[in-house]
Amino acid sequence: MKVSFLRQIGYLNTALLLLDKALGSGSPSSLYFEYGLALQIAGRHSDALSAFSSFDERNPSSRRLGLSLCAQARSAMKAGKIDAAERLLMRAEEIPPGRTGHMLELATLFGNYDRWVEELELLDEEIEQSSNCHYLGQLWAKKSYVFAEQG
């Protein structure tokens, strides 16, 4: 897609203008996801939250819904809306196919706000339930990091 190419070569504002015009002229609603990512990169987190929310409303059965919720949670964290970020990540957890990225995001959220007990409980639960070796490695690495942070 042209938009991702423009972002990669440093023309973020051009990408934002193209997406805004495309969405205003009836382009597929799936572009709201790309628009949210571009706004997030630009540091416009409140606008990104709106774009991701528009994507979710218009594409409730999209395979990208979990990704959109996680991206919204990142923007919510950056905007200081911690409770909203936690709700978004918990909602993402409920969406199949997997909890992998969503749960690591939630663990990171807990850690960022010194909610160590909740983070460790979540990591322990995930370690107990997972059979994916790569994911288990990520979980153990995250758990080791938490212990190192607590000294």
pLDDT over 70 at 83, yes or no: yes
Give the amino acid at 63: R
Q: Quick one: what percent of the chain has pLDDT higher than 70?
A: 89
The pTM (predicted TM-score) of the whole model is: 0.65
Burial class (CB in 10 A: 0-12, 13-18, 19+), 68: buried
Residues 88, 70: contact at Cβ < 8 Å? yes
Q: What confidence tens digit (pLDDT) does each residue in 119-141 have?
A: 888 888 888 877 777 778 888 88
Stretch 1-11: mean pLDDT, rounded? 64
